[in-house]
Amino acid sequence: MSNSLSSSSISLAQLAASVCLATTGYALWLIVYRLYLSPLARFPGPKLAALTKWYEAYFDLISKGGGQFPFEIRRMHEKYGPIVRINPFELHIDDADFYETIYSFNNKIDKMDDFQYRFNIPNATFSTPGAALHRLRRSALNPFFSLGRIRERSPQIQAHFDNISNRLSVEFADTDKIINLADMWACFSTDTVMEIAFARTSRLWSLPDFKSPLVFALQQKSEWTHVTLHFDWILLLISSLPNWLVKRMVAPMKPLLEFREVRLGNDPFVAFSLNLVLSLTNSLCWVIQDIGMHIDDVLGHRNLDAKQSAMPTLFHDILQSKLPPQELERDRLSDEALSVVGAGTETVSNALTVGTFHILNSPEVLEKLKKELNEAIPDPRTIPTWSELEKLPYLFAVVKEILRISYGDVERLSRINRTEAMIYKDWVIPAGVPVSMDAWHMHTNPEVFPEPDQFRPERWLDNPRDNTGRRPLTYHLVTFARGSRNCVGIHLAYAEIYIGLATLFRRHDLELFETTRRDVDFYREELKACPAPGSKGVRVKVKSIHSVEQAVL
């Protein structure tokens, strides 16, 4: 018996030693490969970043509370030059002239596979990694979000902000009530995209103090982006749990889980990420559930002619496209819907919030803008269409500067050319290597935008050229990215920004309340540029110039 136990102990010890030796050997091989043998070994950058993605994870999750990797990338460029290796697998470039090479319409450029499941909408066009499938799916969306179609919807967009404008006049003007502009603008952008894309009325504008559970849920989801990026197994773990267990673990998500069981399938993670600390109201659940019912309705009438519908939706267009049957399944359309709502809310509302602050914080800009709007819009009850507003030169300049200084998504956009090497100056980037740039580096390049931290709409007046004189300055504005994967809703975003700003500043006087640049300046990255912890947001008091009859939608 003792010999048997002794033999067993020796075997276990040998096994442990073998595992230890194998692990050590693998680690040493990985170090040697990544530092000396990898195709990226010759590119400059910190050795620790080349060794492990934990370097990136530290800045994403720990340093100053997380969201610091863009600033670390900038420090890398300052030390190593315009091309750096930011992790074992990826390069980042800081050169305004190279942006169009990476984000082009011509090259067959893929996204990294890691990003497909990051938001648990793997079948949405936004999440599609492969260029061919992305192009197919995108072709079904493009007509709906085309310039002409969005111009036709200008009255609807105006009506949504009229609802808000009326509340400002009746409920908030000349009172001590404080408005958080992020809440107000998010209600506007969400109501707009819900009605235009799905013909559904969310009426978030009517919520007390513009506090929307849906908007808050989307914000909570953004805060989880770095966790799910570095620990993607969390998605698999949560998705594998039965709903009844998740409901017990996270009680507030019960309403949305029950909704998804009925309408959008059994997917706990989506509910988890959208409803981490919050219980959706019955009315809001009804709105989201109504989208699911709308998908069912459209799928049940595949031959429905959109022209016969008083308000054709995105799904009418998709079903009339040339997509194959597998692309018209309910789960894929549900992913597309969630993607459109998320993307259609955050970028626009953040731009409008940051922009409104800078206008109010710059008396000369405010005076010039109001003067132009007063002259162009004699009757504040009748706001011109988006097409007409675009022709106002100072408003045009203000919008461009807002988009520059609010950045859009500040997270780097990684792209892969799997078939051809990229040439950057004297560097040959092998095919299959992810390469990235980002809007923050582009928009704060002092050679292109002198004094980039200053809000100066005048830089956009009189069709300016860039520092080389070869291109218009607008060439370097990449808030909505560029190329075949640029933002499909760019025209809708522009329409909302023009109409929202023109209406707000033509009809209302606002003053900032206990708000400084600290409340808008880029401190941490959560997809978008977020301010420092502790910020209460951009808050204002309102004085009304002219009331408008409510156009309830």
What residues form the annotated binding site for heme? 487
Instruction: Annotate 369-437 with DSSP letters as a single string.
Output: HHHHHHHH-SSTTSPPPHHHHTT-HHHHHHHHHHHHHH-SB-S-EEEEESSS-EEETTEEE-TT--EEE
**CB count in 10 Å sphere of residue 266:** 11
* Amino acid, res. 492: L
Neighbouring CB atoms inside 10 A of 135's CB total 14
- CB count within 10 Å of CB 364 equals 9
Instruction: Determine the Cα–Cα distance for residues 213 and 278; give it in Å rounded to an integer.
Output: 7
Contacts of 21 (CB under 8 A, 6+ apart): none
Residues 6+ apart with CB under 8 A from 447: 96, 467
How far is residue 68's CA from residue 532's CA, in Å, rounded to a whole number? 11
Residue 316, classed as helix, strand or coil, is helix
Helix or strand or coil: residue 526?
Answer: strand
Start-to-end CA span in the chain (Å): 84
* Cβ within 8 Å of residue 375, ≥6 positions away: none
28 burial (CB, 10 Å; 0-12 / 13-18 / 19+) is exposed
Q: Which of helix, strand or coil describes residue 511?
A: strand
Nearest C-alpha neighbor of 123 from the set 258, 14, 9, 265: 265
Closest CA to 193 of 297, 308, 349: 349
Rg (CA), the chain: 25
* Residues annotated in a binding site: 487
Q: Which two tokens stand for residue 8?
A: 């067993």
280: CB partners within 8 A, 6+ apart: 213, 214, 217, 255, 256, 288
Helix 490-507 and helix 154-167, axial crossing angle in degrees, nearest 10: 40
DSSP H or E stretch at residue 162: helix 154-167
Assign 3-state DSSP to the chain and report helix, strand, coil percentages, each to 5. Answer: 60, 10, 35
Q: What is the C-alpha separation between 309 and 124, in angstroms, rounded?
A: 25
Residue 395 CB-density burial (10 A; 0-12 exposed, 13-18 middle, 19+ buried): buried
